[in-house]
Amino acid sequence: MQITDVRAVLLSYVYKPSEAWKWSGGKVDVWNTCLVEVRTDEGITGLGEAGDGHFVPEAAAALVAHFRPMLIGRNPLEVDALHQRMMMASTYWGRRGVAVGVISGIETACWDILGKALSQPVYVLLGGLRRSEIPVYASAGMEKPDDEFMDELREHVAAGYRAVKIRGGYSPRRDAALMELARRAVGDSVEIMIDAGQHYVPRPWSLAEAIEVARAIEPYRPFWLEEPLHIEQPREYAALRAKTAVPIAAGENGATLREFRNLLEAEALDVLQPDITHSGGIGEVRRIAQLAELHGRKIAPHIFRSGVGLMAHLHLMCAIPNGLIFEHSRMPNPLRDELLLNPVVVRDGCIQAPRADVPGLGVHLPAGIEEHYPYRGQVQRFAVEVDP
């Protein structure tokens, strides 16, 4: 089998005014998606996702075109060899960021092809189904009036979720108030994560501020505090962990095994959150999970892109022993659902494994989707100030 073509597929979903959402890092008006389609001479096509294409779609598409010549004529079943070839070809200028995100998308598409070629779901190729259901949380809780915020969380619990994630990242007082509202809304039996998103805000917290926030939210028993510091501060993360009983999670901005190795060796995190669409692909995140297991750490991936990224994570989480919980975005995004061959099922606080009779990842490009969701450009406006 040989690769005959590799192309980027740029799609946009423009939010209605009532759907646009904001948090401490800015506002999102348009949801952009960059898929990667890999075609072969045997008629098998694979789909992957370059998560960084959400932010810089044109740059991601240009890098897909850059890697295309070194992939044409190669065997897509040699997934690790192709991954290494692309990483080495970009080592001088692309060891992280959008280059790794594009490599992630191409690599994931090759896994999809491999599963289809062998008539197996990808989780079988990753070692087999370790569990048929995974604990899941509803990921939403964006900025809105208090009563709407509480009603939204109650709706997630009514829909079968036993854990929810809200967005913070403001200040000790405001983040504690948000946790108090969330706890009142869902009660004591539902887990609550709070995402500070300090990788994105215009004025990120210092270590002292992060410690103050962690201590302020402790009474509300958060499942974790996410991204209270920049990912490039492993020593500060370790210092924060020593000052609070709140578990600390981060990693959605981390890229490749090397960066996560540094975080693990510094004992920076309780929970690692690599993203297949950004961190290097399915194989690389599996290697990160294996290293995390040796360090006694759990994996709870960042999963906030389209249905292609969602299914890649679902197959991996079914196959690794140290997956903690699955992120299920509840923000409006038809590109999360319309790319799936079969809808995902959430029941009794768990997301169900992919169907065993569907080879590959279980995703596709429906006819006419590029015309229905044409690429529109601008994705978000970042905040200039953070409210107190």
DSSP string, 139-173: E---S--HHHHHHHHHHHHHTT-SEEEEE--S-HH
Same-domain pairing of 153 and 289: yes
Average pLDDT, the chain: 95
Same-domain pairing of 219 and 337: yes
Which residues constitute the domain of residue 290?
123-361
pLDDT at site 381: 53
Asked whether residue 229 is assigned to any structural domain, the reply reads yes
Structure tokens at 210: 């992060």
pLDDT at site 383: 46
Q: What is the mean pLDDT of residues 129-150?
A: 97
- Residue 263 pLDDT > 90, yes or no? yes
Number of domains in the chain: 2
Question: Does an H or E element contain 30, and which?
Answer: strand 30-40
- Name the pTM for this structure: 0.96
Asked whether residue 114 is assigned to any structural domain, the reply reads yes
Asked whether residue 13 is assigned to any structural domain, the reply reads yes
CB 153, CB 165: distance < 8 Å:
no
Q: 80-106: per-residue pLDDT in tens?
A: 999 999 999 999 999 989 999 999 999
Same-domain pairing of 355 and 271: yes
**DSSP, res 205:** P
Q: 148-161: per-residue pLDDT in tens?
A: 999 999 999 999 99
Asked whether residue 367 is assigned to any structural domain, the reply reads no
Rounded CA separation 165/257 (Å):
26
Residue bearing tokens 């900025």: 143
Residue bearing tokens 């348009």: 30
CB 161, CB 139: distance < 8 Å:
no
Asked whether residue 366 is assigned to any structural domain, the reply reads no
Q: 273-321: per-residue pLDDT in tens?
A: 999 999 999 999 999 999 999 999 999 999 999 999 999 999 999 999 9
Asked whether residue 387 is assigned to any structural domain, the reply reads no
Cβ within 8 Å of residue 106, ≥6 positions away: 6, 36, 38, 48, 64, 67, 71, 82, 86, 281
Same-domain pairing of 106 and 137: no
Asked whether residue 112 is assigned to any structural domain, the reply reads yes
Any idea what the CATH number is for the domain that residue 75 is in? 3.30.390.10
